[in-house]
C-alpha cells in the first residue's frame, strides 16, 4: 500500500473547510428543550449557547426553588441533546465515523 502524505493533507484541508461551513450553518440552528411537561422551556443555538428561557408562572414557588432549578437544568439538557442530534446528522457523514469524545457517534 502506497501512502501519500499529500493526499492526507489534501483530505485534512477538505475536512477543515467543510467543518468551517458546518460551524457557520450551526449558527442558524436552534432547538428548544422542555421539562415538567412544558413548564420550563430552554432554547439553545447550535453553538450550545442558551438564547431564551420560558418559565410558566406555576413553576415559580418561592417555597420550592430547588424544583425550579432542576426543571431549568433538565430543559437545558433536553435542548443540548437536540443540538447534538442535529450535529451528528450534519457532521456524521463528514467525519466518516470517527469517534470524537463527547459526540457519542
Concatenated DSSP letters for 20-88? HHHHHHHTT-EEEEEEGGGTEEEEEETTS-EEEEEE-GGG--TT-HHHHHHHHHHHHHHHHHHHHHHHH
What confidence score (pLDDT) does residue 99 get? Answer: 52
Domains of the chain are: 5-95 (3.30.1310.10)
What confidence score (pLDDT) does residue 105 get? Answer: 43
- Name the more confident of 16 and 57: 57
Whole-number average pLDDT of the chain: 84
Mean local confidence (pLDDT), 36-40: 95
State pLDDT tens for residues 75-100: 999 999 999 998 888 877 666 555 55
Amino acid at each position: 500500500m502506497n501512502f501519500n502524505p499529500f493526499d492526507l493533507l489534501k483530505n485534512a484541508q477538505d475536512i477543515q473547510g467543510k467543518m468551517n461551513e458546518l460551524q457557520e450553518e450551526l449558527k442558524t440552528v436552534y432547538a428548544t428543550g422542555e421539562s415538567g411537561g412544558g413548564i420550563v422551556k430552554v432554547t439553545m443555538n447550535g453553538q450550545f449557547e442558551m438564547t431564551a428561557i420560558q418559565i410558566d408562572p406555576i413553576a415559580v414557588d418561592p417555597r420550592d426553588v430547588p424544583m425550579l432549578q432542576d426543571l431549568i437544568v433538565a430543559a437545558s439538557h433536553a435542548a443540548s441533546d437536540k443540538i447534538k442530534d442535529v450535529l451528528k446528522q450534519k457532521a456524521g457523514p463528514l467525519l466518516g465515523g470517527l469517534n470524537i469524545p463527547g459526540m457519542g457517534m
